[in-house]
Amino acid sequence: MRRTVEPLRAVKGMNDRLPGEARAFARVEAEARRVFGLHGYGEVRTPMAEEAALFSRSIGEETDVVGKEMYVFPDRHGVPLALRPEGTAGAVRAYIEHKVATVEPVTRWFYLGPMFRHERPQKGRYRQFHQVGAELFGAASPEADAELIAMIHAFLGAIGLSGVRLQLNSIGDDACRPAYAAALQAFLRAHAAELCPDCQRRAETNPLRALDCKVPADRAILASAPEPGASLCGPCREHFDAVRGHLEVLGLSPEVNPRLVRGLDYYTRTTFEFLAGGELGSQNTVAAGGRYDKLVERLGGPAVPAVGFAAGIERLLLALGATEAAAEGSDLLVAALGGPARRRALVLAQAVRAAGLRAELDLRGGSLKSQMRYADRAGAAFALVLGDDELAAGKAKLRQMGPRGGGAPGDEIEVALDAVPAELRRRLRDVR
Residues at the interface with ligand ATP (CB under 6 A):
86, 117, 119, 124-126, 129, 131, 262-263, 283, 285-288, 310-312, 314-315
Residues 6+ apart with CB under 8 A from 292: 88, 266, 267, 268, 306, 307, 308
Helix, strand, coil % in the chain, rounded to nearest 5 = 40, 20, 40
Quick one: 197 or 281, whose CB is closer to ligand ATP? 281
Exposure on the CB side of residue 153, measured as CA atoms within 13 A: 19
Q: Which residue's CB comes closest to ligand ATP?
A: 312
Rounded least distance, CB 173 to ligand ATP, Å = 20
Quick one: 141 or 285, whose CB is closer to ligand ATP? 285
- Which of 116, 45, 44 lies closest to 84 in space, CA to CA? 116
Quick one: 257 or 371, whose CB is closer to ligand ATP? 257
Map residue 18 onto helix, strand or coil. coil
Quick one: 206 or 285, whose CB is closer to ligand ATP? 285
Rounded least distance, CB 308 to ligand ATP, Å = 10
Rounded least distance, CB 285 to ligand ATP, Å = 4
Q: How far is CA 357 from CA 21, 27, 211, 372, 429, in A?
A: 22, 20, 55, 19, 10
Quick one: 286 or 348, whose CB is closer to ligand ATP? 286
Quick one: 52 or 384, whose CB is closer to ligand ATP? 52
Quick one: 284 or 371, whose CB is closer to ligand ATP? 284
CA distance 398 to 415: 7
Q: How far is CA 384 from CA 223, 354, 359, 387, in A?
A: 69, 17, 11, 10
Rounded least distance, CB 290 to ligand ATP, Å = 9
Rounded least distance, CB 230 to ligand ATP, Å = 23
The b/e string for 195-231 (b: 16+ C-beta within 10 A; e otherwise) is beebbbebbeebbbbbbbbeeeebeebbeebbbbbeb
Quick one: 69 or 423, whose CB is closer to ligand ATP? 69
- Rounded (10°) angle between helices 339-354 and 420-428: 50
Rounded least distance, CB 209 to ligand ATP, Å = 11
Rounded least distance, CB 120 to ligand ATP, Å = 9
Rounded least distance, CB 214 to ligand ATP, Å = 7
- Which of 236, 246, 290 lies closest to 150 in space, CA to CA? 246
